[in-house]
Chains A and B, each alone.
Chain A
């Protein structure tokens, strides 16, 4: 049975003429221990899916199941012990006037856990920061170190599922490599299930077993990572994304207004 399953999920914003179907009925299932990628261009709804799953956005329709249990739009505290999220911007996701210790202490207090000291030390150790970072403020950390703190904060509740929203797109490539390696280690050591949202196909190919390609709120194709690597893809839009992510190619430069035409075979 799938650990996390999404059935016919839909999220809309606005009303009347300004109604936008950000997520327009998508379904996928992720086995325990799998790493699933959601890719697409900005506005395709990939982050909105993650926000609905994480409980940050309670306004959705459809079904979200965790371990076979249907989730309500408003989540109970126990949910957050199982599912944690890491955001894109390590500069925005840490409180500038809270030390690393305070950031890591918060989930421990909320969930009334014991052994706060041991948990913080272990979490910092796991993200390879070590105790000397414990009483620093975010401004005393680099972007990569901040993202490690954000990962440590997600890990401190010992969740089963980690939702990752573009976790390395604000980082330099050499730092990205360190954070991706760290995430891979953590997944292996803690038997975690990942949902990774990214615009970067190479990052998804490196990190995931399976992926869904999103366009305008829909899932146009699901692929195994082997299909992605060998280029054995069916959908025209996926092929376009794949070709474009290999670098500049004059032939791919259609007028932006025309790209709508190329992608309408998602039926």
Chain B
């Protein structure tokens, strides 16, 4: 309870270690720092990153895969994944990491799936890019993966186009595509935010099982404090490009940083009626204080 950066007991040795990550954008009005020196590790566990828009949480996820825009400069004292230096790696080495060892699931499957290719083919293609396999074998693996993400009639769904599937099914298809190369680390950036509660619960259960049964690491980026508190093992709270607080997810309700407290207090709650919601007062000192 008392330690500042508790690791989950089952997490094991971290597969990803980041020290002093910074992302700076060159803009016509001068440099803008999106991420300002953050450090964290991820093992076989569910690590939540929460924060409001502009807090740098998505940029953190993207810089791990070196998918930041050209105008961004990414620096870090250390950014290592399974022994590979992610910043020093060549583009060729990075291509072997992206998708194969680290996968990223984005918010909206509508924009991540190719609209003119059948979904099953997109999944088997994801396998064949990273593994030598015949079309037949890739198809069999894709069908098995669709089954694994709880799609009832994989053979029928395999031949559908993206516009023929619902949002929830599209997101499960995306997860299947991300999982088929057998990555060790998944980065889920607001992956369930656009889903209805019922489907969201199901997608979360799939991610949960992947971590507990297949030993994946998961970085779960979200603006939803309630969800992160109930789903993740650990939570990093980001504000203006920094991690202002780290805690065990179940202890999030007792968070101490005034920003985290302010966010929690500003949420309407089901169980109690309050006359007014607390409004977050941003303290300029949060931008600068050493953590």
Contacts and interface: CB of A to CB of B under 8 A. Distances in A.
A163 B205 CA distance: 36
Most buried by A among B53, B168, B198, B272: B198
A84 to B, nearest CB: 23
Contact of B197 (A143, A203, A245): A245
A172 B223 contact: yes
Interface residues of A, number: 40
Contact of B201 (A143, A178, A200, A248): A248
A75 to B, nearest CB: 32
A229 interface: yes
Nearest to A257: B152
Interface stretch (B62-70, B84-92, B183-191, B260-268): B260-268
A205 B270 contact: yes
B254 interface: no
Given A172-B223, A255-B150, A206 B274 contact: yes
A174 B279 CA distance: 6
What is the interface residue range for chain B against chain A?
35 or more
Nearest to B50: A173
Contacts, number: 107
Contact of A256 (B168, B263, B278, B279): B168
A205 B273 contact: yes
Interface string B239-264: 00000000000000000000000110
B75 interface: no
B223 A249 contact: no
Interface string B133-160: 0000000000000000010100000000
Contacts of B41: none
B5 interface: no
A174 B266 CA distance: 6
A183 to B, nearest CB: 11
A181 B277 CA distance: 6
Most buried by B among A41, A177, A181, A241: A177
B198 A256 contact: yes
A25 B198 CA distance: 24
Interface of B: 52-53, 150, 152, 167-169, 196-202, 204-205, 208, 223, 225-227, 229-231, 262-263, 266-274, 276-280
Interface of A: 41-42, 143, 172-174, 176-178, 180-181, 184, 199-203, 205-207, 225, 228-229, 240-242, 244-250, 252-257, 259
